[in-house]
Homo-oligomer: A and B are copies of this chain.
Amino acid sequence: MDVHTTVADFQAARRRRSGSLGLVPTMGYLHRGHLALVRLAREENDLLAVSIFVNPAQFGPSEDYEAYPRDMDRDLDLLRRERVDYVFAPGVEEMYPPGHDTWIDPGDLGTRLEGAHRPGHFRGVATVVAKLFNVVAPDRAYFGQKDGQQVAVVRRMVSHLGMGVDIVAVPTVREEDGLALSSRNVYLTPEQREAAPAVFRALLAAERLWSRGERDGDVLRGAVRIVLEETPLIEAVDYVSVAGTPGLAELDRVTGPAMVSVAVRMGRARLIDNLVLDPASLPGSH
């Protein structure tokens, strides 16, 4: 496994081998969710690159950029075992040299949901993903469905700008009790950790209603809120959304594919999760 910290080194190494290339972009501190991406990418491509870069541009000024957990040695051990070919782990100056001031603006989609609570977040995401795609030139790139809006932003960017990378969304990996895996789960105290699966239960409540035929957006959002509000350790609910995919506009009536998503705050952690409401998954839809 090659580990490269500069664009030039990575590209020189890449040129020495031919074959299809998969990319798994990460911010490191890898968990089983990342490994699910890596394993799928390993199966689907001749060569596999994983990037590790905690991207300052996607953190707000009051967010956890400095505190974001990092453990490069452990990450490299994990990736070696998955037979990764290239790790691209640039420093901040390699990705954003002094004077960097060109940005990808993901438009309205970037201002909704996570974007409304984290202004500039998706501009930072889109910019770093575009740069990684340009530098690494993958055939396919793999993202976790847990960051559902991120998947939507990246897919749209690739389509609108003609980037020619296949975007693969990989189902969310969960703990046994339903909590979606996230590097930020380390911020939870034991009590918070025990209460955190309420987020997934709240999403399931909406999904259950929807699968029984409920199509009213407010009723579905209300079902999510009831579960969240029963959970005292949840200090704030940033949003509860039932939105159409892929544009993520909030829905009055759920008449097609949709995503139910939430963001809540619990102590130092901010937890996000979502479920896709896919009409094709309903009994009798085939």
Contacts and interface: CB of A to CB of B under 8 A. Distances in A.
A127 B157 CA distance: 11
A131 interface: yes
A101 interface: yes
Interface stretch (A105-113, A141-149, A223-231): A105-113
A262 interface: no
Contacts of A109: 101
Contact of A108 (B101, B104, B157): B101
18 contacts: A97-B159, A100-B160, A101-B106, A101-B107, A101-B109, A101-B160, A102-B105, A102-B126, A102-B161, A103-B104, A103-B105, A104-B105, A105-B105, A130-B161, A131-B162, A134-B161, A134-B164, A135-B162
Most buried by B among A104, A131, A161, A163: A161
Interface residues of A, number: 29
Interface of A: 7, 97, 99-109, 123, 126-127, 130-131, 134-135, 156-157, 159-164, 247
A276 to B, nearest CB: 20
Contacts of A130: 161
A232 to B, nearest CB: 40
